[in-house]
Amino acid sequence: MNHASKKITRSITFMSEPVRLKLEESYDHFEGWGTSLAWWANELGGWQDQAKAAEVMDLVFDPEKGLGLNIVRYNIGGGENSDMQELRPGGDVPGFQPEPGKWDWEADARQRAVLQGALKRGANIAEAFSNSPPYWMTISSSVTGAVDGGNNLREDQYDAFADYLTEVVKYYRDQWGITFRTLDPLNEPSSNWWKKGNIQEGSHFTVDKQAEIIRKVAGSLKSKGLDATVVSAADNNSIDETMHNLQTYDLDTLDVIGQINTHSYNGSRLEELRTLAEQLGKRLWMSEYGTGGSETHSHDDMTSVQELAERIMCDLKIMQPSAWVYWQAVEDEGANNNWGFIHAHFTGEEQYEVTKQYYGMAQFSKFIRPGASIIPTDDGRMLAAYDPVRRKLVLVIRNELSASKTSFELNDFTYSDALEAQVYQTSPDSNMKRLENISVYYNGLEVDTAENSITTVVLNEVTLKLK
């Protein structure tokens, strides 16, 4: 069916040059949004008021009640030396092997409870990752890093560390029916800030040592028949570091990596990384990003919302990862910063507050769902997505400037003459507020965008024209 046969006659004179959807650059391998469970699950999973903890899990994972994050990254804790008391609230993630030969499978029951709660609410992809080996495998006898920020896994412990990680994966599969699709033994391994006395787990690995543990873990997975779990790597802090390391690994190491993980806190080689992943035939994830904006502690901070939206749009349009994963959805209220979608008290009173950044994330995750095709646009502040199964077109607009009108050209889609689009907006004065519907014309639509806002436009019952 075409426009003429439906006799669409309504048209609009655009007040500005309309944004064009670059369908020729769209991709259809997007599998969802996620969060790490470190460190918040270690705290909320132990709340006495589990009804309140369940409210938080609804807000994070439930697609109807909350953000609908469908990817969870489970932190296999190293377990700190009892002589060290430096770790931040939530950061003291228990290890399953407090000493060689001894296993404690109930050690991390709190994080496991949140993982199970996420899966119950619709999360369908689980990844396991490690920040540090157990303290007794390290050179410094601490999960916080080496004294000098260098390699911290003892030379005689590479096989033991690989066995530790894969044994956790095996136990979760066999005892709790949870299959981790990927296992990442590293976290920001190229960074040199992992020094003994840090307030969180961390471990530096030189590139050759990264390759060694990657191969050891892959071999251990295979030897234990864990064929449904593959190695992901290497969760570097910078996209450029990820590129460098992938270009340095030998072919044997590259061959056993099933998924490339990168953080996007830093780096500019997004397109190069996308191209390299395609050449290697590897799935690519943006596995960690978080932001706190530039303002002092406030649940209404908009600077973090704008930074979040800018990063999502940049990553999805240029790097084109299959998944986009936030660091931790719930942050410690006591940290007095603006990171996270929800602030909860990690110590003391069991309370939480929803932040403005939560609604900024909702402007994306509530409407752009797994399976949608991501569509770049010719404007850096706009992103589109089309779900062919639901016949839903989503347009997201980031406006950090003054109020304006934004127009979209929609010549590649067909729809009813009476179609109206839903509009949702987050701004200093609104939290994903449902605004009045707007008319859709045969040549597109125009929407008002408030000052300092994120606006999402949803068009249902639309069909992409066949070329």
By annotation, the residues acting in catalysis are 188, 288
CA 289 vs CA 130, 312, 320, 383: distances in Å: 17, 9, 15, 19
Gap between the Cα atoms of 151 and 135, Å rounded: 13
Gap between the Cα atoms of 197 and 294, Å rounded: 27
Angle between helices 356-365 and 303-314 (to 10 degrees): 30
**Cβ atoms < 10 Å from Cβ of 441:** 18
Q: What is the dihedral of CA 284, 287, 292, 294, to 10 degrees?
A: -30
Gap between the Cα atoms of 322 and 371, Å rounded: 10
**Cβ atoms < 10 Å from Cβ of 251:** 6
Q: Closest by alpha carbon to 322, among 391, 386, 356, 370? A: 370
Mark 99-108 as b/e (b = at least 16 C-beta within 10 Å). Answer: eeeeeeeebb
Contact call for residues 175 and 118 (beta carbons, < 8 A): no
Q: H helices of 229-332, where? A: 239-248, 251-256, 270-280, 303-314
Q: In what order do the strands lie in the sheet with 445-449?
A: 19-20, 404-409, 445-449
In eight-state DSSP terms, residue 88 is P
Kind of pairing, strands 257-266 and 445-449? unpaired
Gap between the Cα atoms of 393 and 405, Å rounded: 19
Q: Which residues pair with 266 in a beta bridge?
A: 238
What sign has the CA pseudo-torsion 293, 294, 296, 300?
negative
Q: Closest by alpha carbon to 283, among 263, 255, 260, 251? A: 260
Gap between the Cα atoms of 17 and 307, Å rounded: 25
